[in-house]
Structure 1
Amino acid sequence: MANLQRYFIELAYDGTHYHGWQVQPNAVTVQQALDKALSTVLRTPIETVGCGRTDTGVHAKEFFAHFDLEAIADSPLSVDNAVRSINAVLGPDIAIKNIFTVDAEMHARFSAMLRSYQYHIHFCKDPFRHNYSWLLRDEPDLELMNEAAKIIMEYTDFSCFSKSNTQVKTNNCKISRAEWVKVDGGFVFYISADRFLRNMVRAIVGTLLMVGRKEITPEDIRGIITSKNRSNAGASVPACGLYLTEVKYPMTGGE
């Protein structure tokens, strides 16, 4: 049997018309579309492993997956040609940016050191933000939300912001950035951590908006987090405003 080379593939996608990243029965997903395109172009069955699992409607400006294959250099397709050919097969809402070789131990999900997300909200109806930002009628208090965001960074156990029964070993995450920034016509929430729990960012945003609407105080965040109870936190905000924007690995290639 020939030795296999591990490849990382960097891509971006508009998640509006997909039921998230991960392959699932009776639903169109990004992974399904990517695996089909790779298998068609590379002329062999390909199964990718993604750096995470985005939910239905969530977008990714930067996403990585890996797959194993006999060296592309030994096939009729060069890496550059493979990128162009795969993009030609994919629909317009998924774009391959790069394919590069990595060591066999590198793993798209488990080797990632940092992930960053953005959540976008706007306050006036805008057809060009539909499906890409969440429209709110009233502007929340930015200063209060940032005060609460700083408090969140003091903690590591975020059980209160996670979906239940997710079968993870720990609910601990190290958040290195949590900040709201005012932009033209809206706000953007920036958050970075070594890992995220399922639905965590959307639950955090929903809880911070409760602070911004003065339904709770920033200090109330402490009790919510220490309760480790999802029902005490805010509702999950819609997926349309959420973007995975950065994934960092301990390597120079592909960064």
Structure 2
Amino acid sequence: MRYFIELSYNGKNYHGWQIQPDAISVQEEINNAINKILQSNIAIVGAGRTDAGVHASQMYAHFDTSKIIDANFTYKLNVVLPNDIVIYNTIPVAEDAHARFDAVSRSYEYKIWLGRNPFLLDTTWQLHHKYKNINVELMNEAATILLEYEDFECFSKVKTDVHTFICEISNAKWVLNENELTFHITANRFLRNMVRAIVGTLLDVGMGKISVNDFKKIIESKNRSNAGLSVPAKGLFLTNVAYNYI
């Protein structure tokens, strides 16, 4: 039987989602918890990968088991797991359902705090006085340009093993709520480091370092060295993974 689990995690203490040698990962922690409960050797498959320090307010993964999953399984998982990983639901699905390949869209948010806040140090990138006059309207004008393109090689991590840089972005906008500035973006898929590079480049627009037209030229250049900095991981959240059957 195949099951989906819906979960969230604070990525501060993890070297990303995916299992890797000599480093703690979210995937490994969940594998260990499931195997401890079911007394089996199960490996979960996630909806995607998040880098070290990146958070997820919604993530899905699937696993297969011949064991009976009782009504208390989700509760048991949360007892075994560390407090910074939480399982919300365990959902029986079709045998061919796939957490990664069946996802029709993924959404991220990048959270910036304009000023200082000691309670948000781990979940926002805090910018101080030099960003006080940032032009959010110009940043949104540039963000809409993303929907006109499909090739985002300029925002991809260099030396990546992907076969295509094509992504279909359906939403990209900034929302300013007092001191909290949040970038929202949705696409069918994302390249490694893509959101953090987009945010860094859009901030250059907002600071007047580059124009909206320059932003367009950067996309067309397909050259990562032309884009802005990759902003810190701690402000990035995977917020939604959408399927046609959940």
What TM-score comes out, normalization by structure 1 length? 0.93
Match of 2:202 among 174, 194, 208: 208
**Counterpart Cα distance in 2 of 1:163 and 1:48:** 26
Q: Which runs of 5+ in 2 are unaligned?
A: none
Query: What is aligned with 1:132?
Result: 123
Gaps of 5+ in 1: none
SS in 2 for 1:128: helix
- Cα distance in structure 2, aligned partners of 1:166 and 1:97: 33
Give me the identity figure in percent. Answer: 52
Q: Deviations over 1:5-44 (max 9, x none)?
A: 1111110000011110000001011001010001001111
Q: Which string of whole-angstrom CA distances, capped at 9 and with x for unpartnered residues, describes residues 92-123 of structure 1?
A: 10000011111122111111001000000012
Say which of 15, 18, 33 aligns to 2:29: 33
> Which of 170, 173, 189 is matched with 1:179 structurally?
173
**Distance in 1, Cα, partners of 2:112 & 2:53:** 15
* Cα distance in 1 between the residues matched to 2:216 and 2:116: 34
> Cα offset for 1:234?
0.5
Equivalent of residue 99 in structure 2, options 105, 108, 112:
108
Q: CA deviation at 1:72?
A: 2.2
1:189 Cα shift? 0.4
* TM-score, normalization by structure 2: 0.97
Displacement over 4 Å in runs of 4+: none
Amino acid at match of 1:86: L
| CA deviation string 1:54-94 (max 9, x = no partner) | 01110000000111111524xxxx1x311011100001100
Determine the structure 2 residue equivalent to 1:53: 49
C-alpha deviations, 1:152-189, integer Å up to 9, x for none?
21100000000123222211111010000011312100
Which of 164, 168, 175 is the aligned partner of 2:162? 168
Alpha-carbon RMSD: 0.9
1:154 partnered with 2:123:
no
Letter in 1 for 2:227: A
Q: Distance in 1 between matches of 2:107 and 2:239?
A: 6
CA contact (8 A) 1:152 1:221 kept: no
| 1:225 correspondence with 2:223 | no
Contact 1:87 1:96 in 2 (8 A): yes
Q: Does the CA-based 8 Å contact 1:125-1:135 persist in structure 2?
A: yes
Query: Equivalents in 2 of 1:23, 1:194: separation in Å?
Result: 24
Q: Distance in 1 between matches of 2:159 and 2:245?
A: 33
